[in-house]
Amino acid sequence: MTDNVAATVALTGSAGRMGAVLREQLRDHVSALVLIDRVPTPGPLAPGERAVTVDLRDPAATHEALAGVDAVVHMAGIPDEAPFADLLEANVLCTHHVLEAARRHGIARTVLASSNRAAGCYPNSHLTNPADPVRPDGLYGVSKAAVEALGRMYADKFGLSVSCLRIGSFEEVPSEARHLATWLSHRDAGGFVREALRSGSPGSFEIVYAVSGNPRRFWALTGSYAPVDDAGEYAGVGDAEDVGKAFDPAAPQSGHYAGPEFTLPHLPGT
């Protein structure tokens, strides 16, 4: 095992877009990797990998799937705006089942996928710190604020070690002007997760913005991981008008996600 990462790590949402990347980023840094998703894991398993098909909405099945692991990286869930009932089930309830399994098994470290959109309504002029009050930009952001609250409660009440990563714009390369501030590269995503697995002690809790080292970023880098990639290398993304709109000091940091039209289709009766 290298990099002093916990020996056996469970990765939920392993068949998803981010899960697939983290699978590659983690497999060489742990002794064993348990791949958990509600759909079968694609591709052949590498040495040290084990796949478990389970629906995290089932608390008993979640508890069984996490038996014998040292740490959990919980990436499963709905990754965008959706009806609130669906978000509560997939993001909040499933996170509760993961944390409860971690408590009962005595799992040393849990890393939770949060999102920058838990505070996406701060204006671009504000350098947002994880300690600032949440300002969700929609129902999805509310669900991630609830995920953070659950993690805090399990750390304070039950002594779990929990890290919440407020994930930025997870892309192979920046593809729009806003990404000059919000981009999270694949390599840095793996770095943030591995660092979160190495850090922490019983009862510790942290919220960290997972974003590459972009000079124009809206968020304070407060964790111990130093990003290695930089959206400044893609300064040609977007024309002058696009950049001007994306970095209007009064505009919300989450851009169009903060607009009413992004949430209205998911509200009852609209």
pLDDT in tens, 31-42: 999 999 999 988
Name the residue range of residue 217's domain: 8-266
Q: What is the pLDDT of residues 71-99, one digit of tens each?
A: 999 999 999 999 999 999 999 999 999 99
Q: How many distinct structural domains can be found in the chain?
A: 1
Q: Which residues are registered as beta bridge partners of 50?
A: 34
In a domain, 26, yes or no: yes
Lowest mean per-residue pLDDT among 47-56, 101-110, 230-239: 230-239
Show Cβ contacts of residue 151 under 8 Å, excluding neighbours closer than 6 positions: 95, 99, 110, 112, 160, 162, 164, 205
The single-letter DSSP state of residue 226 is -
CATH code at 108? Answer: 3.40.50.720
Nearest to 226 by CA among 210, 215, 204: 210
Token representation of residue 11: 């990765």
- Specify the pTM: 0.96
In a domain, 90, yes or no: yes
In a domain, 85, yes or no: yes
In a domain, 186, yes or no: yes
What secondary structure does DSSP assign to 247-264, as a single string?
T-TTSBTTGGGGSHHHHG
Q: What is the pLDDT of residues 140-198, one digit of tens each?
A: 999 999 999 999 999 999 999 999 999 999 999 999 999 999 999 999 999 999 999 99
In a domain, 1, yes or no: no
In a domain, 2, yes or no: no
Token representation of residue 264: 């209205």
Average pLDDT (53-58) is 98
pLDDT number for residue 178:
96
Q: What is the pLDDT of residues 210-265, one digit of tens each?
A: 999 999 999 999 999 999 999 999 988 888 899 999 999 999 999 999 999 999 99
In a domain, 92, yes or no: yes
In a domain, 3, yes or no: no
Please, which pLDDT band fits residue 269 given cuts at 50, 70 and 90? confident
Token representation of residue 178: 């806003």
Which residues are marked as active site? 140
The single-letter DSSP state of residue 126 is S
